[in-house]
Structure 1
């Protein structure tokens, strides 16, 4: 019974990225209104600087501050800090952004999506070398390999803003 409870709790934590939204966060009325991203603003060098500023910030469901944030919150804050306009706050909203691209065509700044559990979803920002910037429930804001034994089989799709 205890083992089943622990497994259930771990599954909930891993799938929590898409579960909740800070209700005080403005959400654009239509993601189609978001213009294409300026590559001069949304590039690997600037994403790595953003990572340095936020590295280790803990995971917090619905969070958008240095006290904690979730995966879609990280993408939301990074986009707002580096590009300017708001994008949808949830993983579900972010899946509708941009143009879907093949995994073999990934470039720095593309959004990468993962299916972590039956309904759980996770999002991060692609970096070169099969790496991506995201928020781990255990280690906070970090860079992970998409070839990692956990992430590789859970890859869902990518989109380019």
Structure 2
């Protein structure tokens, strides 16, 4: 006997309700997954090294007026024309990165020569020696009264010459990675500690021919 009209309608309504319920469940699942993806992106942004470095620098400079001296000056450096001024600008973009012995990238942190080496390669196309003592043999010697922005300045901080290096900024200020527990920052060469330990300066040249840096003694 064929099914009655009432039975057919009942079956159709049940199927339609089931389909509606399935669509609702699918929509809830998509929204939930989107929320998870957004949370994951937020967590990734909070753990980004650049975000962390910025927070460290801002908290550090609250009690460090000297470190804040050029906080508003750093600008993205341009690869052309290549001058020693771009070397200083590249280093200033690393303000707040933590010191790490042997470190040579923003992700790992920097020691003094690691910071200079990284900035020189990024801004001038130079591959410098890894130690500050070896860097002191590159470029040409510069007298104190001839210092210009981007010159390398050297100090005796470990009982021997050229054991520490920074990058001159002008106005007797330099940027460097000072020591364990500190961050890349700006200091004055007029401070007694640095004035007593100053060893001299060298001026590099941009690598425009992909050849090794010429040395002048």
Length-normalised TM-score, structure 2: 0.52
1:22 maps to what in 2? none
Q: Find the residue that maps to 1:158 and give its secondary structure.
A: strand
2:99 maps to what in 1? 59
1:106 maps to what in 2? 147
Q: Find the residue that maps to 1:132 and give its secondary structure.
A: strand
Q: Distance in 2 between matches of 1:42 and 1:142?
A: 22
2:123 maps to what in 1? 82
Residue 45 of structure 1: how far off its partner (Å): 6.0
Which structure 2 residues correspond to residues 128-139 of structure 1 after superposition, within 5 A? 128-137=170-179, 138-139=181-182
Structure index of larger Rg: 2
- The gaps in structure 2 that reach 5 residues or longer are 1-78, 205-217
Q: Distance in 2 between matches of 1:95 and 1:39?
A: 25
* Alignment RMSD (CA, Å): 2.1
Query: How many correspondences in the alignment?
Result: 123
The 1:46/1:158 distance shift into structure 2, 3 A limit, reads closer
- Indicate the structure whose relative CO is greater, using CA pairs within 8 Å and at least 6 residues apart: 1
Q: Distance in 2 between matches of 1:110 and 1:46?
A: 9
The 1:85/1:49 distance shift into structure 2, 3 A limit, reads closer
Length-normalised TM-score, structure 1: 0.69
Query: Structure 1 segments of 4 or more deviating over 3 A?
Result: 42-46
Q: Distance in 2 between matches of 1:51 and 1:98?
A: 21
**1:148 aligns to 2:188 (yes or no):** no
Instruction: Considering fraction of residues, name the structure with more strand.
Output: 1
Q: Distance in 2 between matches of 1:89 and 1:149?
A: 28
> Of 196, 200, 206, which residue of structure 2 is paired with 1:157?
200
> Of 159, 167, 173, which residue of structure 2 is paired with 1:125?
167
